[in-house]
Structure 1
Amino acid sequence: MEKTLRFLFFLVLVGLGWAAQAAANPPTVPGRLVLKLKPGQSAAALETAFRTLDVSNVQQKFPRAIAPSPEKPGSVELRGIYQLQVPATLSLDRARAVLLGTGLVEYVEPLYIRLPQYQPNDPGADSTLTSLTTSQYYLKQIKAYRAWDITRCDSSIVIGITDGGLRLTHEEFRRQIKYNYADPVNGVDDDGDGYVDNFNGWDLANNDNDPGYDINITHGSMVAGVSSAHADNSVGIAGLGNKCRLLPLNIYPNTPSGSFAGVEAVVYAADHNCRVINMSWGAVGGYSRYEQDAMTYAAVNRDAVLVAAAGNTNADLLFYPASYDHVLSVSGVSSTDQKSPSATFSHRVDLVAPGVSILTVSGYHATWSGGPADADYVAVGGTSFSAPLVAAAAALVRWQFPQYTAAQVAAQLRQTTDNIYDLPANSTWINRLGTGRLNVLKALTKTNLQEARVLSTTFSPTRVVYLPGDSIRLMVTVQNLLQPIADLTVTVTSLSPHVTVRQGSFAAGGLASLARTSNTTTPFRLVVANSGIPLNTKATLRYRLSGAGGFQFDQFVDILLNPDYVVLDGNDMAVTLTSRGNLAFDNLAGTVGAGVTYRGSSNILSEGGLLLATSPTRVSDRLRTRAGQARQSFFSTAQVVRVHPGPRADQEARASFQDSIPVAGSLARSVGVAVRQRAFAWASPGRRDFVVLEYTLKNITADTLKPLYAGLFMDWDMPTSDGTGRNAAAWDSTRSLGYTYALGQPAPNLPAVYAGVKLLRGGAPAVYSFDNNAPVGAPVRLADGFSPAEKFLTLSNGTTQRTAGLPGGADVSQVVGARLTKLAPGDSTTVAFAMMSAPSLLQLQAAADAASFVFATLLPTRLAGFASAFNAYPNPTTGQLQLQLPEDFGPATVLVLDLTGRQVMSLRALGRQVDTNLAGLTPGLYLVRAVGARRVLTRAVVLQ
């Protein structure tokens, strides 16, 4: 079967554009998702949600996986994982909202494409390799020859090579493959494992029984040569694994229906008795719970040693799968033990192995001088070839210490490395190249070793990032993997000036081999600095485990501090605010920010943010536009900060940003406004369901902006128990309240069914509700983007478009805004909104009324002062109202304003007392403003 790379490249290119993945993430398989059901749930329960999202080809990923066992703490369930095909135009965040909203699903993720970690050497490298003895220098460097005197392993230990296909007929491989004699090639699944004729291994990417090589993908043969080339055959090279066997598993597609299958190959290898699994592939970023589940299953449920290449980027970064828990991360060094020039380094690296000029099987048909026509070799470099050295060493250790678990084998390898940090060339990377360079002899002969290790870390509160002033509790689970340790102590130290450890010692006491303990009852306590933290700072914490007899072992964990957003979480509604006007998230992928939640719910706001406009072409925002992209009109002038407590609320947030100033004579595409954003949240009863957002807008152009429109775009996703995600949007004109609500039954354990935005202050109210997937030709249709002209329409169309999604429900969005008649050059005005959520419409309306009252009484305008001497009786009132002015106030004009700032009544006050009647007005909250010769006083009045 002819195999080429073009389908892989097609998937990579398409994947780059699908689901608007963050730039730091690897590409994804287009139109494909994976989800995990909560325990006790079935995929059939999601049928309605699947119909809503137009899901097809639902497949259980690992139906034959073994169940988690209480005898194996930390083991996981894989049988609840399903793969879905969805339309390529469906956003990941929309799919997440609908599926997570059912309450039946643990996570929803894309399928990442991980690439081989191959770094070819320069063209002249081969000319220096004059003999086999010198070409495999690394065998002597890692003490392989002496190690083989201890053991050369045997065919019972199998290394799973999850990579490109293998040259099955190659002289170095054909006697090393672990053939499955229980399932010969006869068209029948003789061994009943669900794979027909998997005699030679399996091609997971294309779902066939041919794991053979693609002439363009020789990486698998190169990797397998390092670990498993046939020794003592008088030809070519010797793999470090010697007599261990290998199982070839192809993970790269070569057919139109194929797709990257590294994770599937790991599970297959674990289920087919591979005691060691090598992964010389990966990518920067893209942490996946699905992938971590698969790694945990292989390592804990199936007790396989997982080994992965740490990456070929000369930087300190997380690289997956190497950086997952239960995976040995292997970086590379040269023949002199200096870090390889391109090798990745980090605190997640476990150890290093040679990775420069590694002679191995080429996989091509070129003839190697002195060997048979099918035996060819090449010197290559990269951590791809460091990893299989460690995988082969793990296989030898498994044979030498058959009683060891996979975790103990990993500990044995870590604790027997040779120190490389004494080399001046490596001083830059201390503690970021693991414990040292692989020494196979020591790994097979040392028996008095100790290693206690932090197995898991739990931060409380659980967050992706931590904000200035945050207090953190830190719980750890510790296990002793090797010989018993007495008087074990775990000490946590901050290596960052921005984190202070308040309580950092845990006396674990004596631990027998494989015993565990935790500090759940007395957690470590940390505090983040209140100020002075640069944006997106990584802070490193060091665990130092020490015990009697001189045992000491260090581990590290990183936390991210001071992102370019804050979260107001002081009441029942937690809201993310960014430095540039967005709400919920700072990117379309939904990976930067904590979203918007209500009483511990999942995220309920897919996308939100400020919109400003003066015409269909002059629009400023950072919202979606088209093709998975977002406009970038606003730039930050003062980073968003959280004040806790604030001067006027229990939590406050402040930020400043602006768009560009239109150039005279050019086609202006920006409005030219500087924005000062303020947000307020209260924890007191009656004020827990809303957050007030206040925007002060300043005209920074030389022209009067008339009119100026300002509003909030909100793509709410209120989940339902039937999984349809059927929402509708409506408008409460008496309250200037636009809201979205779930049709049908609310999702289990989700308190929020309604969410909305109320205009508190500004010009004439505006609302525009619409179906995101409206038919082609609709005035606004997010399915094909959100153009500036469409955004202007939503702001400038008044209140005519009040509802959407009725009667059957839809994926809806809403813009709630205000029309400001004009804003002169240099002038400022304020527009204010309240974001809110509640279990019912009645409670939402109550929250809206409470927000109005709070805004009027606790957040007075800067121009109109409040004075205790300006009184109103009775308040609340059913109509009759008596006003009392200060003695020295003098004649005044008394204005009655509704909360949009519109004047509804005016009267003249000549003395201290004024009597009036509000009975003709709509019940609600009003501002009564007395305008005198020297000052302005304001009172809030509630009309019942």
Structure 2
Amino acid sequence: MYSKILALLSFGVVSSWAWAAGSPVKPIRPIIPNDTYFTSQWNLHNKGPGLTPVGQSQVQGPDHAHIAEAWSLLQELGLADDVQDIGRSIRLAVIDDGFDLQHEDLKDKFVAVKNFGGPVKANNLFSTSPNNFHGTLVTGLAAATADNGKGIVGVCPGCRVVAARMGGDKPAGSIEKYYEKIFDWVMEQNPDVINCSWGPDPSTTPAFAKKLIDRLAREGRNGKGTVVVFASGNTGQDFTWNHFANYPGVVTVGASNSKGERHSFSNFGPTMDVLAPTSGGKSKGKQLVDPIWTTDNYVAPDCLKPGSRPSPNCSDMAGWTPYSNMAGGDSWEGRYSDRFSHTSSAAPIVSGVVGLILQANPKLTAAEVQKVLQDSADRIAPADAKYDEDGFSMRYGYGRVNALRAVALAYEMGGKKLSHELKARIDVTTPCTRGNCWKAPFH
């Protein structure tokens, strides 16, 4: 009976009281913020297959990263007063191509910004010619404001953001010196985690990557090390050519879908850490499959009169989805997109989870944070992944990131103990996929 109930829970069927070991155990209830599109952010909290409440797009399965339950656990442990506070002491750096500093869901998040690329719009950090918006999409997934009645919520809603804009064109001179210049400035801003949803120029050498990452591990966070997160890439190939993603000290992230399967485009390799749930950019008819909502660049068109609605003849051209009539609480404003996908959108999910981990235990080193991610991940699709005796798969890493179990493990690594009751509630909320989820090391 117990195993049957756990199976139902894993598919989102049982949501109230369940029984474990003969005693009533109440699952960890997710925090449900009032952000317009949160109910469609299945990657943060997923009720199961069906159409999304906003946009009427298709979610294929019940898998997700247990983000909303991790927020709840942090509150239960007395580590956050409300969801907006979670990660407020964490500085999350994003190195990317362009950022909308005036965005309603991000404008209060930026603590340091710098342009390392070409011209940008006045009082902002993106260009419309060429149209670069990738950094805005990434930043929203990691750190958009929660519970403000607008748009989306990021994984680490209270995280402060350091934004470094890269140029779209290859700079003159040494590309390694260019990367070094950017990372030097970012390091001066004392980040706890750095998100890199991009691949380096192929001319970058292993020696350079090692020197840079070792320095971050040695000097970041007052010697505890800055956590560096890289997307694995989207060509369905071995990423060993990418000397950043392939370096053992980097947290390398692949992509999984709502059915708990690895996306075939997701690059793989011997240093893969975890997958994160995201979209593959596909659609069935007019319905997107596993859509990912996030923030998007916005510039009000000159033709738009106050109080009127945009149309194909009068549209914001700044972001990812111009001319799009998107359903939702604010109808269409061009400030949000449901079309972000691939490993670029998986990486900031994990960067946000790093913020939650450090909220639970700020004393962890970068290496320990990486180990927490590995040891708390769910071993999804075992028949396809073929995890080895250490729980590792070249294509799946250690599995799909699980924020709830990551927060629990980080908390206990700080010398504090979770009660047996709380552990049972976590087990009911997200059934263990390992031999023993409460005995470290887990693999």
- Measured against the shorter chain, the TM-score band is 0.5 to 0.7
1:154/1:425 CA distance change after superposition, 3 Å: closer
Question: Shift of the alpha carbon at 1:421?
Answer: 4.2
Distance 1:146 1:217 in 2: 33
Q: Supply the distance in 1 between the matched residues of 2:95 and 2:148 (Cα, whole angstroms).
A: 25
1:279 equivalent to 2:196? Answer yes
- C-alpha contact (below 8 Å) 1:129/1:135 kept by paired residues: yes
Establish whether residue 223 from structure 1 lines up as the match of residue 138 from structure 2.
Answer: yes
Task: Report how many residues are paired.
Answer: 309
AA aligned to 2:105 is E
The equivalent of 1:363 in structure 2 is: 297
CA distance in 1, matches of 2:441, 2:363: 23
User: What's 2:14 paired with?
Assistant: none
Partner of 1:334: 257
Distance between the aligned counterparts of 1:280 and 1:551, measured in 2? 29
The sequence identity of aligned pairs, in percent, is 24
| Shift in Å, 1:135 | 8.0
1:248 pairs with one of 152, 156, 163: 163
Distance 1:347 1:278 in 2: 20
Q: Which amino acid aligns with 1:314?
A: G
Q: Note closer, same or farther for the CA distance 1:326–1:139 as it changes in structure 2 (3 Å cut).
A: farther
Q: Give CA deviations for 1:472-530 in whole Å, capped at 9, x if unaligned.
A: xxxxxxxxxx99xxxxxxxxxxxxxxxxxxxxxxxxxxxxxxxxxxxxxxxxxxxxxxx
> Are residues 264 and 420 of structure 1, via their aligned partners in 2, closer, same or farther at CA, if it must alter by over 3 Å?
farther
What does the per-residue CA deviation read over 1:870-893, in whole Å, with 9 as the maximum and x for residues that have no partner? xxxxxxxxxxxxxxxxxxxxxxxx
Larger strand fraction of residues: 1
Instruction: Determine whether 1:310 maps to 2:244.
Output: no
Which residue number corresponds to residue 212 of structure 1? Answer: 125
Q: Against the structure 1 CA distance between its residues 150 and 262, is the aligned structure 2 distance closer, same or farther, given a 3 Å change threshold?
A: farther
1:176 is matched with which residue? 109
AA at the equivalent of 2:379: N
User: What pairs with 1:843-922 in structure 2 (closer than 5 Å)?
Assistant: none
Matched with 1:350 is 273
Q: 1:325 is matched with which residue?
A: 248
Alpha-carbon deviation of 1:346? 1.2
Contact 2:63 2:260 in 1 (8 A): no
Q: Report the CA distance between 1:392 and its aligned residue.
A: 0.4
**Which of 142, 148, 154 lines up with 1:239 in the alignment?**
154
Matches of 2:256 and 2:393, distance apart in 1: 15
For residue 256 of structure 2, what is the amino acid of its counterpart?
Answer: V
Partner of residue 46, structure 2: none
Give the conservation status (yes or no) of the 8 Å contact 2:87–2:355.
no
Amino acid aligned to 1:201: V
Spell out, residue by residue over 1:672-722, the C-alpha distance to the aligned partner (whole angstroms, 9 max, x if none): xxxxxxxxxxxxxxxxxxxxxxxxxxxxxxxxxxxxxxxxxxxxxxxxxxx
CA contact (8 A) 1:417 1:438 kept: yes
Q: Do the aligned partners of 2:255 and 2:346 also contact (CA within 8 Å) in 1?
A: yes
Aligned residue runs from structure 1 range 925-940, under 5 A: none
Q: What is the alpha-carbon distance in structure 2 between the residues aligned to residue 206 and residue 156 of structure 1?
A: 31
Give the match's secondary structure for 1:389.
helix
Pair 324,166 (structure 1): closer, same or farther in 2 beyond 3 Å: same
Q: In the aligned structure 2, how far is the partner of 1:139 from the partner of 1:267? A: 41
Which contiguous aligned blocks of 4+ residues in structure 1 show a shift greater than 6 angstroms?
Answer: 132-140, 207-211, 254-260
Structure with greater helix percent:
2
Q: Distance in 1 between matches of 2:233 and 2:276?
A: 13
1:373 equivalent in alignment to 2:333: yes
Q: 1:418 maps to what in 2?
A: 378
Separation (CA, whole Å) in 1 of partners of 2:101 and 2:259: 34
How far apart are the structure 1 equivalents of 2:179 and 2:70?
Answer: 31
- Match runs of 1:88-107 below 5 Å: none
Cross-structure match for 1:290? 208
Distance in 1 of aligned mates of 2:59 and 2:355: 20
Shift of residue 312, structure 1, vs aligned partner? 0.9
> Could you tell me which of 116, 130, 142 is aligned with 2:65?
142
Larger relative CO (CA 8 A, sep 6+): 1 or 2?
A: 2
Q: Hey, what does 2:185 align to over in structure 1?
A: 268
Question: 1:389 maps to which residue?
Answer: 349
Q: Secondary structure at the match of 1:201?
A: strand
Cα deviation per residue 1:534-584 (whole Å; 9 max; x = unaligned)?
Answer: xxxxxxxxxxxxxxx88474xxxxxxxxxxxxxxxxxxxxxxxxxxxxxxx
Quick one: distance in 1 between partners of 2:209 and 2:386?
A: 33
| Distance change >3 Å, CA 250–CA 347, structure 1 → 2 | same
> CA 1:426 to 1:282, structure 2 compared with 1: closer, same or farther past 3 Å?
same
User: In 1, distance between residues paired with 2:405 and 2:56?
Assistant: 22
Which of the residues 81, 97, 100 maps onto 1:167? Answer: 100
> Which of 219, 222, 225 in structure 2 is aligned with 1:301?
219
How many Å apart are 1:130 and its aligned residue?
Answer: 4.7
8 Å Cα contact 1:168/1:174 also seen in 2: yes
Structure 2 counterpart of 1:932: none
Alignment-mate amino acid for residue 348 of structure 2: P
Asked if the contact 1:203–1:210 (Cα under 8 Å) also holds between the matched residues in 2, the reply is no
Structure 1, unmatched stretches of 5+, are: 1-127, 179-199, 451-481, 484-548, 554-944
- 1:137 Cα offset (Å): 9.4
Q: Distance in 1 between matches of 2:218 and 2:71?
A: 29
Distance in structure 1 (CA, Å) of the matches to 2:404 and 2:212: 31
CA contact (8 A) 2:65 2:402 kept: yes
Distance 1:146 1:136, change over 3 A: farther
Displacement of 1:383 in angstroms is 0.7
Matched residue of 2:228: which SS? strand
Instruction: State the 1:136 CA deviation.
Output: 9.1
Q: In the alignment, is the contact (CA less than 8 A) between 2:387 and 2:393 conserved in 1?
A: no
Deviation at 1:406, TM superposition (A): 1.7
CA displacement, residues 806-857 of structure 1 (integer Å, 9 cap, x when unaligned)? xxxxxxxxxxxxxxxxxxxxxxxxxxxxxxxxxxxxxxxxxxxxxxxxxxxx
Once the two structures are TM-superposed, the CA of residue 267 in structure 1 deviates from its matched residue by 2.8
**Change in 2 beyond 3 A, CA 1:399/1:448:** closer
Matching of residues 593-632 of structure 1 within 5 Å: none
Structure 2 CA distance for partners of 1:268 and 1:138, relative to 1, 3 Å: farther
Amino acid at match of 1:426: A
* 1:291 Cα offset (Å): 3.1
Look up the SS of the partner of 1:267 in the other structure.
helix
Matches within 5 A, 1:703-742: none
Q: Which amino acid in the other structure matches residue 157 of structure 2?
A: N
What does 1:30-179 align with in structure 2 at a 5 Å threshold?
Answer: 129-131=52-54, 141-151=64-74, 152=83, 153-178=86-111
Distance change >3 Å, CA 158–CA 138, structure 1 → 2: farther
Give the whole-Å Cα distance in 2 for the aligned partners of 1:155 and 1:335.
29
Give ranges in structure 2 of 5+ residues lacking alignment: 1-50, 75-82, 280-290, 299-315, 317-321, 416-438
- Change in Cα spacing, 1:254 to 1:431, as seen in structure 2 (3 Å) is closer
Q: Report if aligned partners of 1:202, 1:249 keep a CA contact under 8 Å in 2.
A: yes
Deviations 1:735-773 (A, max 9, x none): xxxxxxxxxxxxxxxxxxxxxxxxxxxxxxxxxxxxxxx
Distance 1:136 1:221 in 2: 24
Give a deviation string over 1:613-660, Cα, whole Å, max 9, x none.
xxxxxxxxxxxxxxxxxxxxxxxxxxxxxxxxxxxxxxxxxxxxxxxx
SS in 2 for 1:175: coil
Superposed, which structure 2 residues align to 1:456-471 within 5 Å? Answer: none
CA drift at 1:362: 3.1
CA RMSD across the alignment: 3.5
Instruction: Please give the alpha-carbon distance, in whole angstroms, between the structure 2 residues aligned to 1:353 and 1:233.
Output: 25
Deviation at 1:425, TM superposition (A): 3.8
What CA distance in whole angstroms lies between the structure 1 residues aligned with 2:410 and 2:72?
A: 17
Partner SS, residue 436 of structure 1 = coil
Provide the secondary structure at the position in 2 that maps to 1:296. helix
Equivalent in the alignment of 1:431: 393
Alignment of 1:751-762 (within 5 A): none
C-alpha contact 1:206 1:257 (8 A) present in aligned 2: no
